[in-house]
Amino acid sequence: MTSLDDLPIRDDLRGRVPYGAPQQAVPVALNVNENTHPIPEDVAHDIVARVAAAILRLNRYPDREFTELRAALADYLGHELAPEQLWAANGSNEVLQHVLQAFGGPGRSALGFAPTYSMYGLLAAGTGTEWITAGRDDAFELSPATAVAAVREHDPDVVLLCAPNNPTGTPLSLDTVRAVADVARGIVVVDEAYIEFAEPGTPSALTLLGGRPRLLVSRTMSKAFAFAGARVGYLAGDPAAVDALRLVRLPYHLSALTQAAALGALAHADEMLAMVDEIRHQRERISIELARLGFDPYRSGANFVLFGGVDDPHAVFQALLERGILIREIGIPGHLRVTAGTEAETTAFLEAMAVFAPNRI
Ligand code: PMP
């Protein structure tokens, strides 16, 4: 049988492993930070109607500039953003890939603060960008001083700030974003994939865009918006930076079906986001209960919780899986990550964890 090693693959991809969150059909899937609540049925019907109308025109290519979608995204984000400040792609992974294709690439580097979202390194590899990681402060926080020191040391072409950070859940202060944007020579991306789950009143990096043409803020409809399967991510920034992404995208990269579905979901933004408060509540419940059981949950502004104090993470992962509960091994010794699900899913997880509790009585 031919193995990958037998093929003339690029030298810099040899030996690498693809993104690999396990895909398993289980009753309680809490491993990839989805919104586990299904989308409301009336919204689904409206989306179906819009997609049906788009199907009748599938003989034609879609709007290459996704004009209507840009306007709807600008409207949704507010902050007086104009449609030409918006970009969208098939998930924010593709948005980030466009950024690295345009602003990274061979001979250039991207900097992140580990542990952080595992796709950053893979996207860097795929685009031939050198991937550099710097450390964080205690409890995975990232202070302006720590972040600025790393930017000064490595002088990267792209900085990827994950706010809140995956897999740790750590919120990121705008002071850190501001400080990094002040010293960075290159593009600074703030990945706000989970920002809707932050404490109410938490300001977004969108508030910093004015006068900072190298600052980009990426978002996704996959998490709070409960639209992971549709693959819609987006970004806001200076019109010139957004325009640069048109150089690297494939023509017609957003299908007419995707555009129609996204417009339908955005037309019902309030209903789509209705479960966010409840998910935040379940996240708080996980943090409180895990601490009570004797684990060490970290501060989270996302829809998941990272916790330490696990003697044998793989054994716990396996034992939960045997009970139909899938969580995430993220490769940090003694730690696991769990997504906040529905109340019932969260209860199933917490009951299963009680068996492994350091404080078990
Ligand atoms: N950024 C972060 C921090 C994420 O955790 C994820 C999804 N796990 C993404 C981006 C990508 O999400 P999507 O491509 O579904 O928009």
Q: What pLDDT, on a 0 to 100 scale, did the predictor assign at position 116?
A: 98
**Average pLDDT of every residue of the chain:** 96
Ligand 1 centroid, distance to 67 Cα (angstroms): 23
Give the ranges where 184-310 is alpha helix by DSSP (H).
Answer: 239-245, 256-267, 269-272, 276-293
**For residues 224-239, average pLDDT:** 97
Q: Is it the case that residue 18 has pLDDT exceeding 90? A: no
CA of 219 to the centre of ligand 1 (A): 8
Q: What is the pLDDT of residue 19?
A: 83
In the chain, ranges of CATH 3.90.1150.10 domains: 25-39+274-354
**Among the listed ranges 19-28, 129-138, 184-193, 313-322, which one has the minimum average pLDDT value?**
19-28
Cβ neighbours of residue 91 closer than 8 Å, sequence gap 6 or more: 220, 222, 231, 232, 233
Supply the pLDDT for residue 340: 98
CATH of 41-269, one of 2.40.110.20, 3.40.30.10, 3.90.25.10, 3.40.640.10: 3.40.640.10
Tell me where in the chain the CATH 3.40.640.10 domain(s) lie: 41-269
d(CA 84, CA 67): 9
Say how many Å lie between the CA of residue 263 and the centre of ligand 1: 20
Q: What SS3 string covers 20-34?
A: CCCCCCCCEECCCCC
- Tell me, what's the pLDDT at 51? 98
Cβ proximity of 265 and 280 under 8 Å = no
**How are strands ordered across the β-sheet holding 233-236?**
86-89, 233-236, 215-220, 187-191, 158-162, 109-113, 130-134
ipTM of the complex, rounded to two decimals: 0.99
| Predicted confidence band of residue 361 (pLDDT cuts 50, 70, 90) | low
pLDDT at position 359 over 80 = no
Question: Would you say the pTM of this structure is higher than 0.90?
Answer: yes
* pLDDT tens string 87-144: 999 999 999 999 999 999 999 999 999 999 999 999 999 999 999 999 999 999 999 9
Q: What is the pLDDT of residues 30-41, one digit of tens each?
A: 999 999 999 999
Rounded CA-CA distance 184/259 in Å is 34
Distances (CA, A) of 246 to 257, 261, 289, 321: 20, 22, 47, 43
pLDDT at 194 over 70: yes
Whose C-alpha lies nearest to ligand 1, atom 2? 193
- Are 106 and 10 contacting, i.e. CB atoms less than 8 angstroms apart? no
Residues with CB under 6 A from ligand 1: 33, 91-93, 117, 162, 166, 191, 193, 220, 222, 228, 233
- What is the C-alpha separation between 258 and 256, in angstroms, rounded? 5
Residue 353 structure tokens: 């964890």
CATH number 3.30.360.10 given to 25-39+274-354: no
Q: What confidence score (pLDDT) does residue 360 get?
A: 62
